[in-house]
Amino acid sequence: METTAHEMDAHIRVTLAEPELTALDAWRERQPDAPERAEALRRLAAMALREVGGSETIALADLNASNDE
């Protein structure tokens, strides 16, 4: 599932708060291959998009903590 640099179309800069960064690093450590942070984020994004079908959207006006289920 690992994506190589030549297969990527966009670079996205992400800022994470300490709790999210800690959770990301803990998730990485539980993986058999301990992926780098960028690869971990790609995998988690792919997993989340498969879970919601990849097409579910939330209107900007409706975006809030109650959507974090």
Q: Give me 12's structure tokens.
A: 């996205």
What is the pTM (predicted TM-score) of this model? 0.65
Tell me if residue 22 falls in helix, strand or coil. Answer: helix
Res 56: pLDDT? 64
Count the alpha carbons within 13 Å of 45 in the hemisphere toward its beta carbon. 10
Q: What is the pLDDT of residues 13-54, one digit of tens each?
A: 999 999 999 999 999 999 999 999 999 999 999 998 888 776
Q: Give me 51's structure tokens.
A: 């879970």
- Helices then strands (H, E): number in the chain? 2, 0
